[in-house]
Structure 1
Amino acid sequence: MKKSTLFFVISTSLAVTGTVAAHDGSSNDCNVDLQGDLEYYQGVLSVNMDDGSSMSINNQHQLTVNGETVNLDKDQQRWVSDYYDSIDTAIPMTLEIAHDGLEIASAAVGEVLGELLGEDDEFTGEFRELFDSLSDEMHSKFYDQNGNIRVDSGTFDEQSWFDNAWESEFEQRVESLVTQSMGKIMIAVGTQMLWGGGDMEAFEARMENFGEDIEHRFESSADALELKANALCEILAKADYAENHMQQSIPGLSELNLLDVNDSSLKM
């Protein structure tokens, strides 16, 4: 049996998975970095700045700096409101994109392994458990027991928008499980081919057609996810724009620089 056919199907599945992960937070032209710590819980947005200062904005768009309420003029209030509303929109939108991406990747890998090994195979079940575990971990990390969104960027491993908090772990676990079980996969596939009469060319053709079908179907889903990610990037760019004006016009916020959005496709 040629290994190339097996690797083609497996790599197709992982390519779809990687594409989904790449689309989850931003497109290749949209990079979002965090400087300082962001906390969001029960409608209150708090930012701890690098100089030790802190600010909070509640769902009534009231601003406090180091615990003191700040009186704002009309323009200042507009920037504060735009900033809050943009981040308040971006946070649940990011979680929705992350959830959708995980669902697409789970379905893609599940279909590939189900075709190769059978739906009842132990390894196929291990992958389902992996995706279920990742979904549970994501939920427990970003929601409290009552379903309220809870974000604390101080717990993230990377200084980037919080979708990356689970993305690297997701990719590493999938690739590790495939690598550890490649021998078992090859034996199972070889057995399937022998049961089919040993026609290697027919088996290869079936696998290649299946791989191409998987790629076509799930790339469409990934493309739809990318549209959502692009919309998210526009919202974060708007927040970054408002943040720059807050930094320049509101006393006590000269060190506010939580968001750094680099998107070559956007012009404010």
Structure 2
Amino acid sequence: MNKIILLTAATMMSTTVAAHEQHTVTFNDENCEVEFQNDVRITPDNLVITTASHATAEITSQGTLTLNGDTIPLNQQQQAMLTQYSEQLRGRLPQVANIAFEGIKLAGVALNEVATTFNLTNLDDIHAVINDFETQVHGTFYQQGAFVMGKQTFDDFGSNFDEQFNEKVETVIKGAMMQSIGSLLVTIGTEMSNSNGDMSAFEQRMEDFATQIETKVTQQAQAIEQKADSLCGEFEQIAHHEAIVANAIPEMSAYQLFKFK
């Protein structure tokens, strides 16, 4: 009987986490037509694009362009195009970090749902993992008063974040279950008592609970995915505009942030 109870609790935990993992938001979607090829650093005063060879293109808030320290003369039309391009990057790139934050918070919602239902009292480690990853995301994208984005940041975040997050979440779930084993047994025992000892009724209640949480998490995860897909489309539009800017200002052709696959 104890094995059945523990297996049921573990299954509930796994189901909830799986509901999140199946819809983990990533930013290297194969369906996206563009990808980063350079890096950018954005502050209130300027926007600096850096290539793999460490060449730099600085666009100031006034619309002036400096390449590797040399100011490039621009006519009024070129300056207007460059300013619009800069504003597009300022408005869209930070949304990547916002979507990442939403994904982390969604995992916290799912874990709290399960913890509340099974009366898990030792949640400090779970909350610590959520907080640690929020700090990690913030530190990845916001550095020394600037927003940083591009190929290196994008690649590192996309390849490492999901795996690390899932591993740590699974570890703290197991730890919380072991530390709260007494509460788990009491809670599940109460559920069985309310079902008058009918295991089939108990199992149905557990399945309904799993479905309820999975549905809730899935719906929110899909909404986040839609935001990511929409953002990818906006990046494609910026990439098209970027190509137009590079055509109008040939010196910018070596500093394009995006490339089409």
- Look up the equivalent residue of 2:17 and give its one-letter code: L
Matched, 1:174 2:172: no
Aligned residue number for residue 222 of structure 1: 221
- Look up the equivalent residue of 2:93 and give its one-letter code: I
Q: Distance in 1 between matches of 2:102 and 2:87?
A: 23
Pick one of 2, 13, 16 that aligns with 2:16.
Answer: 13
Aligned residue number for residue 69 of structure 1: 71
1:137-176 residue pairs with structure 2 within 5 A? 137-143=136-142, 148-151=145-148, 153=150, 156=153, 159=155, 166-176=161-171
Higher helix proportion (structure 1 or 2): 2
Name stretches of at least 5 consecutive residues in structure 2 with no aligned partner: none
TM-score between both structures, scaled by the size of structure 1: 0.76
- Look up the equivalent residue of 1:159 and give its one-letter code: D
| Partner secondary structure for residue 159 of structure 1 | helix
* Cα drift, residue 61 of structure 1: 2.6
* Cα drift, residue 154 of structure 1: 7.9
Aligned residue number for residue 93 of structure 1: 95
Does the CA contact (< 8 Å) of 1:45 and 1:56 recur in 2?
yes
- Look up the equivalent residue of 1:207 and give its one-letter code: M
| Partner secondary structure for residue 260 of structure 1 | strand
Cα deviation code 1:101-134 (max 9, x no counterpart): 2212211122123323x14x22x33212211222
Larger Rg belongs to: 2
Does the CA contact (< 8 Å) of 1:34 and 1:260 recur in 2?
yes
Q: Cα distance 1:56–1:164, how it changes in 2: closer, same or farther (>3 A)?
A: farther
Q: Distance in 1 between matches of 2:28 and 2:180?
A: 33
| Partner secondary structure for residue 251 of structure 2 | coil
Q: Cα distance 1:150–1:244, how it changes in 2: closer, same or farther (>3 A)?
A: same
Q: Distance in 1 between matches of 2:60 and 2:158?
A: 23
Pick one of 56, 59, 74 that aligns with 1:57.
Answer: 59
1:1-268 residue pairs with structure 2 within 5 A? 1=4, 5-6=8-9, 8-22=11-25, 25=27, 29-30=31-32, 33-73=35-75, 76-116=78-118, 118-119=119-120, 121-122=121-122, 124-143=123-142, 148-151=145-148, 153=150, 156=153, 159=155, 166-178=161-173, 189=184, 192-194=187-189, 196-197=192-193, 199-260=198-259
Q: Distance in 1 between matches of 2:102 and 2:239?
A: 25
| Partner secondary structure for residue 69 of structure 1 | strand
TM-score between both structures, scaled by the size of structure 2: 0.77
State how many pairs are aligned. Answer: 254
Aligned residue number for residue 265 of structure 1: none
Q: Distance in 1 between matches of 2:13 and 2:214?
A: 11
* Cα drift, residue 212 of structure 1: 0.6
Cα deviation code 1:176-215 (max 9, x no counterpart): 4346667668886456434544654333222211111111
Does the CA contact (< 8 Å) of 1:36 and 1:50 recur in 2?
yes
| Partner secondary structure for residue 29 of structure 1 | coil
Name stretches of at least 5 consecutive residues in structure 1 with no aligned partner: 263-268
Q: Distance in 1 between matches of 2:185 and 2:231?
A: 45
- Look up the equivalent residue of 1:251 and give its one-letter code: P
The RMSD of aligned alpha carbons is 3.4
- Look up the equivalent residue of 1:227 and give its one-letter code: Q
* Cα drift, residue 89 of structure 1: 0.9
Q: Cα distance 1:43–1:10, how it changes in 2: closer, same or farther (>3 A)?
A: farther
| Partner secondary structure for residue 38 of structure 1 | strand
